[in-house]
Copies of this chain bind each other. A is one copy, B any other.
Amino acid sequence: MDPRGLTPGEARGLFRGGVVAPTAGWAAGWAQANLLVLPEERAYEFLLFAQRNPRACPVLDVTEAGEVSASIFEGDLRTDLPAYRVYRDGEQVAEVGDVREYWRDDLVCFLIGCSFTFEAALLEAGVPVRHIEAGTNVPMYRTARECRPAGRLSGPLVVSMRPVPAELVAEAVRVTARYPAVHGAPVHVGDPAALGITDLDRPDFGEPVEIRAGETPVFWACGVTPQAAVMRSRPPFAIGHAPGHMAVTDARDSAYLVP
């Protein structure tokens, strides 16, 4: 099975059936999304946090409380992602492939743009994507850069990193800038220390990748940022996707491409 060639429904069926894998490169051409699930009572605070931090938290869709599908996700948001993390008071209490046992009727699901969405465009433009080549999860890092808080919700910006050959950095910027709803252009190109990242080989989420001679680390805002805010701000209950294990949506990548 080539995961690139799957339809969103096929990919979700595999995840529902128990497959656990990072989704980079899966269902090529279809947008992927981060998931954050919060009780309705906390929904405004998060939506405001997203409005104030649009690079990290571009909201693609929001469910009505208790609903398990979304306009861009026809599957079941409780079962159709490869893996979930469940938080109580900001502490991760489970990583599971199915969150039905945790489900409550007051939960609101936020689908947030994911940079995996523009990776097909990077590849088409001749920009290599190391974690897809390696078949590993993308490396993600907490930074020293603070998000703008909203109410009780605060936290650091989280970024994903892709090493890019120096002569292709401009092309990587140009390509990804055209996808503002899935994090858009890089937030930082070069020196990790300036973001407060001390060791690229030890990402906070995902797996490290090789950086070869002549390559520059390029950092994009990451949709794990909401979960970092959950860990910092400790709402009583939350669910997120396991980093890199995304919601494969029914929206085309091209739906988020600006002319």
Residues of A whose CB lies within 8 Å of any CB of B are 43-44, 47-48, 51-52, 59, 62, 64, 151, 177, 180, 258-259
Contacts and interface: CB of A to CB of B under 8 A. Distances in A.
Contacts of A180: 180, 258
Copy tally for this chain in the complex stands at: 2
A72 B44 CA distance: 21
Contacts of A43: 44
A51 B62 contact: yes
Contacts of A259: 177
Contacts of A51: 47, 59, 62
A48 B48 CA distance: 10
Counting chain B CB atoms within 10 Å of each CB, the highest count among A48, A151, A177 belongs to A48
A20 B44 CA distance: 34
Contacts of A48: 47, 62
What 10 A-B pairs come out closest when comparing CB atoms?
A44-B44, A47-B47, A51-B59, A43-B44, A48-B62, A51-B62, A177-B259, A44-B47, A47-B48, A47-B51
Contacts of A47: 44, 47-48, 51
